[in-house]
Amino acid sequence: MDIHPFGPDDHDDLVAWTGLANAISASDAPWTMRDTVARADARFRHGWDGEPESPYLLRVGGAVVAWGSIATSEYDNLDLAFLTLGVHPGHRRRGYGTALLDRLRAEARRRGRTLLMTEAWESVAGDAFAVRHGFERRLAGINRRQLLAELDPSDLDKRYDDALPHAADYALERWPTPTPEDRLDDLVAMASSINDAPTDDLDYEDEVFTPERMRAYEVGWAALGFRQYRLVARHLPTGELAGQTCVGVLAADPTWGEQDDTTVTRPHRGHRLGLLLKIGMLRWLAEAEPDLVRIDTWNAESNAHMIGVNEVLGYRVMGREWAYQRSL
């Protein structure tokens, strides 16, 4: 058994990781988007917002059978290490996941982290592995999918028109990407409202947003191959940004869309801005991305308000993923 780190410049390892990751996804979450070597490069080079994870491959007799990674942030949650583990479906229950977990725990200690977090699709085997290693369930996340062909445009128009009187002091704006330098501070102030999303029993501090982090997020999103769309709501009397919704469409396969944040800042809630933003985004995408078929989104299972909006817009449940934590 050999466990070794790799990075975006290790092409052969990227190829091996991509094949392994797709075999795991085909078994555990067959509805999800498949990885490519180009997207693996971007993932391990840029991360989600400029802080890429550190990945490892586990080989047995030259065959890649498992992988793991550790991610830590210098923005916030300075005690936390996020671990990812994956074992090929044909090589499970042989101790490979445990061997990788031991390596990642050692790295977390080296980085001075005292709290571990990981995620797994809901399954008996996944839960048993987590519990065996001292992890506790803390948050359920639900993956939902919207199929655009199933939407009724006349129903969406009616819902939009019914919501408009509640938002008479607001206007929707199509935001340029990448964000101009002189708008980054406004974007930071608005993006921070995502900290109001429920985290249930997770030991998790508010995220800290800076202009540099927002720019790194846009760079990472583009490197992953997504065309970025950001629609914002502006409060006309004050000029403040009141909310946003963001969607990325995969350039290599524009049938795939990924929903990122949809947030409304606390002072501007109660005006149906979430619904208006979501429908406004669908109108924009219908113009700009005519080949788009599906949009995937994630919400905490306890986020009743946003789930209500998504269900109105036809999102269907695809799978549940649990976040686990334990102290180191």
Summarize pLDDT for 134-150 with one digit per residue, the tens: 999 999 999 999 999 99
Average pLDDT for 193-209? 94
Q: What is the pLDDT of residues 3-21, one digit of tens each?
A: 999 999 999 999 999 999 9
Instruction: Return the DSSP state at 206.
Output: P
Residues 6+ apart with CB under 8 A from 65: 20, 58, 59, 87, 88, 91, 96
Residue 244's nearest CA partner among 259, 226, 255, 256 is: 259
Mean of per-residue pLDDT scores for the chain: 96
% of the chain exceeding 90 in pLDDT: 97
Which domains, and CATH codes, for the chain?
Answer: 2-113 (3.40.630.30), 144-319 (3.40.630.30)
The residue type of 139 is L
pLDDT reported for residue 156 = 96
- Looking at the chain, the number of H-run helices and the number of E-run strands are 9, 12
- Under a CB-based contact definition with an 8 Å cutoff, are residues 65 and 91 in contact? yes
Average pLDDT for 235-247? 97
230: number of Cβ within 10 Å: 21
Q: What is the pLDDT of residues 249-296, one digit of tens each?
A: 999 999 999 999 999 999 999 999 999 999 999 999 999 999 999 999
Is the N-terminal amide bond of 178 cis, ω within 30° of 0?
yes
Average pLDDT for 154-160? 97
On the CB side of 192, how many CA atoms lie within 13 Å of its CA? Answer: 16
- Edge-to-edge strand list for the sheet holding 54-60: 2-5, 54-60, 63-71, 80-87, 115-121, 316-327, 136-147, 294-300, 256-264, 241-250, 226-235, 170-175
Average pLDDT for 154-166? 97
pLDDT reported for residue 17 = 98
pLDDT reported for residue 154 = 96
pLDDT reported for residue 208 = 96
